[in-house]
């Protein structure tokens, strides 16, 4: 990739870790088809593309860090950990004494929730009927 081209917001490695986090944050996401997961990734990718390249790099770096931290602490990468162990590991990061780490996980969690629930199928499943026209659309 030429130096002038921006790096993709979601690399293969980032998508792999993101999906592992998603399954811990939203257990129902484990049931998404490849097509549904691709929609969620596109939503997350679009949100990241609106951010400066520096923020995109920090996001990818944070995902690499938590994946490697899982390997160091638990002997497995996030995607290879059983769901209960993965959830406990992410909860330990969520409760980190380091503010930057807590904020990083909060940001990843927010993107995962957005990617999952912004899909039209998810909105329909939970009965979400928001409309840009506001309450007038419901009358």
Q: 89 — phi, psi (to 5°)?
A: -60, -45
pLDDT of residue 7: 52
| In the chain, where the domains are located | 12-138
Give which of 40, 58, 53 is closest to 8, Cα–Cα. 53
85-117: pLDDT as tens digits: 999 999 999 999 999 999 999 999 999 999 999
Mean local confidence (pLDDT), 2-19 = 74
Give which of 121, 129, 127, 132 is closest to 38, Cα–Cα. 121
Q: What is the pTM of this model?
A: 0.83
pLDDT of residue 91: 95
pLDDT band at 6 (very low <50, low <70, confident <90, very high): very low
Q: How far is CA 47 from the centre of its chain?
A: 11
Here the tokens at position 31 are 């049931």
């Amino acid at each position: 990739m030429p130096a002038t081209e921006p790096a993709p917001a979601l690399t293969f490695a980032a998508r792999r870790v993101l999906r592992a986090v998603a399954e811990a944050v939203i257990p129902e996401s484990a049931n998404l088809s490849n097509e549904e997961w691709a929609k969620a990734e596109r939503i997350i990718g679009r949100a990241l593309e609106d951010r400066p390249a520096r923020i995109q790099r920090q996001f990818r770096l944070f995902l690499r860090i938590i994946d490697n931290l899982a390997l160091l602490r638990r002997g497995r990468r996030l995607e290879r950990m059983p769901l209960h162990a993965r959830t406990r590991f992410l909860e330990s990061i969520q409760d980190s004494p380091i503010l930057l780490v807590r904020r990083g996980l909060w940001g990843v969690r927010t993107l995962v929730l957005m990617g999952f629930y912004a899909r039209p199928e998810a909105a329909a499943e939970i009965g979400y009927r928001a409309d840009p026209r506001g309450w007038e659309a419901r009358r």
